[in-house]
Structure 1
Amino acid sequence: MPKRKKVSYIRKSFARRSYFSLGLAIGALALGIFGIAGSVMAAGEGQLNTAAAVFCSLVVSLVSLVYGFFSFLEKDKKYILAKIGIGISGFLVLCWIALIIIGMR
């Protein structure tokens, strides 16, 4: 006779810090898009505000990664928002680091 799966009827809530992680990741993405668009519109000669937007995007995405990882410390919660936030922020950090390395050459 096969074993039956136990079904939990208690709905888990989202981790509180995962909301911050996802919100910050979306904000970092918006800042990054603003910075790239400003640089493209200026034909590669971006002004100081485009550099500031891209730098803020890097810093905000790093903070989003920290919030995402801290959200896994909360017990009995759903972590899907934190995983999405970590994915977006990790991608942004890798892109910005690659662009910084390319720019140094």
Structure 2
Amino acid sequence: MKLFNKYKFSDKSQTLGGTISTVMGVAALSCLLYGVFVAFKKSGEAGLEVGSLGLMALMLSVIGTVIGLLSFKEYDKFYTLSKIGSMLCGIIAVFMMAVFVMGLGF
């Protein structure tokens, strides 16, 4: 016996900002994971390569967070990707800021 049928009686679509935010979050996560891979591969001696990947991940995640939060202003849309993208980018942004603050030695 089925309790819930997954029918969609709406012409709503996902927000554009949410889609962009989610894509930017995945790109930031990819940069972060690739940076970790390179750092392990070079035994911590990667230097500028890993730093630039980390900075790229930070920039993508901050911009993705802003775009994702602004996408909640779009009217009559689904906000699932907006929530996913904003949270993913926000978590990565906070993590990368913490990594950079630890690297400064505070």
TM range (shorter): 0.7 to 0.9
Aligned to 2:93: 93
TM-score by length of 2: 0.84
Could you tell me how far apart the structure 2 residues matched to 1:31 and 1:22 are? 14
Where does 1:36-75 land on structure 2 (aligned, <5 Å)? 36-75=36-75
Could you tell me how far apart the structure 1 residues matched to 2:16 and 2:99 are? 32
Could you tell me how far apart the structure 2 residues matched to 1:58 and 1:92 are? 7
- Once superposed, which parts of structure 1, at least 4 consecutive aligned residues long, lie more than 3 Å away? none
Amino acid at match of 2:67: Y
Give the gaps of 5 or more residues in structure 1.
Answer: 1-7
Structure whose alpha-carbon radius of gyration is higher:
1
TM-score by length of 1: 0.85
How large is the RMSD of aligned CA atoms in angstroms?
1.5
Aligned to 2:12: 12
Give the gaps of 5 or more residues in structure 2.
Answer: 1-7
Cα deviation, residue 47, structure 1: 2.9
How far does the alpha carbon of each residue in 1:38-73 deviate from its partner, in whole angstroms, 9 at most, with x for none?
A: 112222222322211110010011110111011101
User: What's the secondary structure of 1:54's corresponding residue?
Assistant: helix
Percent of paired sites with the same residue: 27
Cα deviation, residue 33, structure 1: 0.6
Per mean C-alpha deviation after superposition, the further-off stretch among 48-57 and 26-35 is: 48-57
Aligned to 2:83: 83
Could you tell me how far apart the structure 2 residues matched to 1:65 and 1:93 are? 8
